[in-house]
Structure 1
Amino acid sequence: MTTPFISIIGLNHKSAPVELRERLSFGADKLKEILTYCCDSLSEFVLISTCNRTEFIFNGEQSVLEKYLMEVGSLKESDLQDFFYNYNDYEALEHLFKVASGLDSLVVGEVQILGQVKSAFELSFEQNYATANFAHIYQQMLKCARQVRRDTEIGKGSVSVASIAVQLSKNIFDHLSGKKVLLIGAGEMCELAGVHFFEAGVDQIMVANRSLDNAEKLASKFKGKAFALDQLEDAVWNADIILSSTGSPSYVLEKDLIKGAMSKRREPMFLIDIAVPRDIDPKINNLTDVFVYNIDDLNKIAEENRKKRGRAFGRAEEIVEAKLREFREEQALSSVGPLINSFRERLHGIKDDEQKKLFKKLNHLSDSDKEAINKSLHQIVNKLLHDPIITLRDEVKRDDSSRLVKVFKDLFNL
Structure 2
Amino acid sequence: MSILVVGLSHRTTPVSLLERATVSGDALVKLLHDVHRDEDVAEVLVVSTCNRVEVYAHVARFHGGVTAITDVLGRHSGLPHEVLARHLYVHYQERAVQHLFTVACGLDSMVIGEQQILGQIRSALRLAQEEGTAGTALNELTQHALRVGKRARTETAIDRAGASLVGVGLSLAEQAIGQLPGKQALVVGAGSMSSLATATLARAGVTGIVVANRTLERAVRLAESVGGRAVPLTGVAGEIGRADLVVSCVGAGTYSITEEMVEAAMRDRRSPLFVLDLAMPRDVDPAIRRLPGVTLVDLESMQQDGLGSEIDGGRAKAIWEVKQIIAEEVDAYLDSQRASVVTPTVVALRSKAAEVVEAELARLWSRIPDADTRTRDEITNTVRRVVDKLLHAPTVRVKQLATSPGGAQYAHALRELFDLDPQCPDAVTGLEVER
Same fold (TM over 0.5): yes
SS at match of 1:48: strand
Structure 1, 320-329 or 214-223: larger mean CA deviation: 214-223
Residue equivalent to 1:56:
55
Residue in structure 1 matched with residue 328 of structure 2 by the alignment: 322
CA 1:98/1:263 → structure 2, altered by over 3 Å: closer, same or farther? same
Partner of 2:242: 238
| Contact 2:244–2:274 under 8 Å retained in 1 | yes
TM-score if structure 1 supplies the norm length? Answer: 0.81
Shift in Å at residue 147 of structure 1? Answer: 2.3
Q: How does 1:76-155 map to 2 (within 5 A)?
A: 76-155=80-159
Q: For residue 272 of structure 1, give the secondary structure of its aligned residue in structure 2.
A: strand
- Asked if the contact 1:208/1:232 (under 8 Å) is kept, the reply is yes
Whether the aligned pair in 2 keeps the contact of 1:111 and 1:155 (CA below 8 Å) is yes
Structure 1 residue 176: deviation in Å?
3.0
Letter in 1 for 2:56: I
Partner of 2:37: 40
Partner letter of residue 329 of structure 1?
Answer: D
Cα distance change of structure 1 residues 327 and 238 upon mapping to structure 2, 3 Å threshold: same
5 Å matches for 1:19-30?
19-30=16-27
Is there any run of 5+ residues in structure 1 with no aligned partner, and where?
A: 354-358
Contact residue 274 and residue 295 of structure 2 kept, 8 A: yes
Contact 1:10/1:55, CA 8 A, preserved across alignment = yes
The answer for the alignment partner of 1:14 in structure 2 is: 11
For the Cα contact (< 8 Å) 2:33–2:133, is it kept in 1?
Answer: no
2:110/2:307 contact within 8 Å kept = no
Residues matched between the structures, number: 406
What's the counterpart of residue 175 of structure 2?
A: 171
Alignment pair present for 1:302 and 2:334: no
CA contact (8 A) 1:194 1:222 kept: yes
Q: Is the 2:237–2:257 Cα contact (8 Å) retained in structure 1?
A: no
TM-score by length of 2: 0.78
1:163-186 per-residue CA deviation (whole Å, 9 max, x = no partner) reads: 121112123344334543221122
Q: Amino acid of the residue matched to residue 23 of structure 1?
A: R
Q: Contact 2:32/2:46 (CA < 8 Å) preserved in 1?
A: no
Deviations 1:80-101 (A, max 9, x none): 3322212222222222222223
Distance 2:256 2:403 in 1: 54
> Would the aligned equivalents of 2:184 and 2:244 in 1 still touch at CA under 8 Å?
yes
Task: Describe the SS at the equivalent of 2:25.
Answer: coil
Q: Which residue of 1 aligns with 2:426?
A: none
SS in 1 for 2:169: helix
Moved more, 375-384 or 26-35: 375-384
1:273 Cα offset (Å)? 0.6
Q: Deviations over 1:176-217 (max 9, x none)?
A: 345432211223322332333334344633322223333343
Q: Which residue of 1 aligns with 2:374?
A: none
Distance 1:36 1:408, change over 3 A: closer
Q: Distance in 2 between matches of 1:157 and 1:165?
A: 16
Deviation at 1:44, TM superposition (A): 1.3
Q: 1:271 to 1:32 in 2, by over 3 A?
A: closer
Q: CA RMSD in A?
A: 3.8
Letter in 2 for 1:324: V
For structure 2, list consecutive stretches of 5 or more residues without a partner in the other structure. Answer: 60-64, 372-377, 421-435
Q: CA deviation at 1:384?
A: 8.1
